[in-house]
Structure 1
């Protein structure tokens, strides 16, 4: 969510004529993220987020916007795309597809407790089940085929030890993805990028007695149809890891997985391959961060993430004996 494409006040005013959202009160860039140009947009009708898609094409974008509309209609708290006056969910700005979505309530929790993790796990399972009748299909575009395409381009930048780990884990994941157990894993639309900064928590409601209230999930622009266990593994690798060491916090893992399974219990195949999928989740983000770090794009406010973080996490996950197990829900 860096700013690659600048927008003038005049350009914004002309573009907003296609929306029934009132007058613009405030418009400012969002500094976090590295894929699209994002802006907070405040009008006389409310608060929104405007996104200019730098990589996604007009043909690809409907999957993401339609998925968010579908989840919102199933009472999953996600940004809801705003239709234009012609009914379309996006238009073209600077020759790039651009959309406006509702702004969720709350703020990111970058130091989550077990209660935060439980809220995330419960809502993630609800999201997975809500997506079962979503009529469109698009694979996770950052899965195995993308790893196989991207790894050769980053290998020249790496040390011998890094190259060995990157190549050996790719071979392991290729074998795992080709197995009958992998084929049996339940699947559907997944967020695929549910990090701490892609979830908001609102102020607690004293009437409910809960100290933590989830405001919603956002940034669905890496979403795709994948194994639900992959989505859970990506989430656990971020929400339940010590950021300095990559170690998993057993209490947070237990809280997130137990809450998830109160909505959707894991299958036997999912329990058997929990370690493999944690490794897959770590590998996906190590590869993408290596690519962004060594082959960056120019952008205002762009801050590439440190790839060594997910190298540490992957090495930790390779030590399967140290991983908290999947709890059994009674």
Structure 2
């Protein structure tokens, strides 16, 4: 999240006239992230988040907005998109699509312990199961097709060893998607970006309570195992090396599997999907770092972090799924 499109108090007041959310109290830009414009929007009736979509189109957005509504209505702790007077959940501001969603309580935990990992793993399993009957289908727009399209754009910034790893990793993922094992993997709507800063917790560090999942705007239909792999590649690692921290990883995977047990095909595919999760974010961070879009407050991540993780996942045997 970032601030690409300025929004004034008068803009917010005009927008609120389309809703039954009360009158504007305060508006504050959110500087974290790199994809959309986000503001904390407080009104006389509650606390909300205003998102202006800078990349996703009005045709793509119903998947994300309706998925969040679908999950929220089934008790999964996610932001609930608010309807306007006409019942629609999407509108426009400054010529761009936008939406207002409920603001969840809590804050993100930068150094999660096993208790946080277990809560996040269990909630992701709940999300997958609740999304299984979601009727809209849209692929993960940052999936393999996007990796293959984007890799040539970042190659000029890589040295020979980096370029070789990128090429061979893409080859592996392309070949794997053509296998019967891949075809048998359970799939459906997935978050696809469940990093620790996209999960909020209440309570204390020793006794955390789930606040909810946020930032669904990279979601798409993909294998659920890819969603798990992306998550544990962030939640369950030593930041400096990318190596797994065993008690965090076991807590995450055991809690997830208690609600949705892993299949034999998923257990076979696990090492490849861990590499897929690392590859996806290495490519996107290379792209955001070397080919950034103009923004008022933009903080691109260091792509070397996921380069290290991908290298490690290619060198060290993956832990088994429960």
Deviations 1:72-126, CA, capped at 9 Å, x for gaps: 0110000000001111101110000010000001000010001110101111001
Deviations 1:254-299, CA, capped at 9 Å, x for gaps: 1100000100000001001111000000000000000001100111
Residue of structure 2 in register with 1:260 after alignment: 256
Aligned counterpart in structure 2 of residue 317 of structure 1, from 272, 293, 313: 313
Q: How does 1:277-316 map to 2 (within 5 A)?
A: 277-316=273-312
Query: 2:49 is paired with a residue of what secondary structure?
Result: strand
CA contact (8 A) 1:30 1:40 kept: yes
Residue of structure 2 in register with 1:141 after alignment: 141
With the length of structure 2 as denominator, give the TM-score of the two structures: 0.98
How many residues align? The count is 322
Q: How does 1:151-230 map to 2 (within 5 A)?
A: 151-203=151-203, 211-230=207-226
CA contact (8 A) 1:275 1:320 kept: no
Residue of structure 2 in register with 1:46 after alignment: 46
Question: Shift of the alpha carbon at 1:320?
Answer: 3.6
Question: Shift of the alpha carbon at 1:204?
Answer: 5.2
Query: 1:133 is paired with a residue of what secondary structure?
Result: coil
Determine the C-alpha separation between the residues in 2 that align with 1:94 and 1:313: 39
Determine the C-alpha separation between the residues in 2 that align with 1:9 and 1:166: 46
Aligned counterpart in structure 1 of residue 233 of structure 2, from 218, 237, 250: 237
Determine the C-alpha separation between the residues in 2 that align with 1:199 and 1:45: 24
Question: Shift of the alpha carbon at 1:165?
Answer: 0.5
Deviations 1:150-173, CA, capped at 9 Å, x for gaps: 000110111111101101100011
Query: 1:259 is paired with a residue of what secondary structure?
Result: helix
With the length of structure 1 as denominator, give the TM-score of the two structures: 0.96
Residue of structure 2 in register with 1:91 after alignment: 91
Query: 1:50 is paired with a residue of what secondary structure?
Result: strand
Residue of structure 2 in register with 1:108 after alignment: 108
Matched, 1:70 2:57: no
RMSD: 1.1
Determine the C-alpha separation between the residues in 2 that align with 1:320 and 1:274: 13
Query: 1:273 is paired with a residue of what secondary structure?
Result: helix
CA contact (8 A) 1:50 1:100 kept: yes
Question: Shift of the alpha carbon at 1:12?
Answer: 1.7
Determine the C-alpha separation between the residues in 2 that align with 1:227 and 1:55: 24
Determine the C-alpha separation between the residues in 1 that align with 2:261 and 2:94: 46
Query: Where does structure 1 lack aligned partners over 5 or more consecutive residues?
Result: none
Matched, 1:35 2:31: no
Deviations 1:16-66, CA, capped at 9 Å, x for gaps: 110111111110100100000000000010100000000111111110000
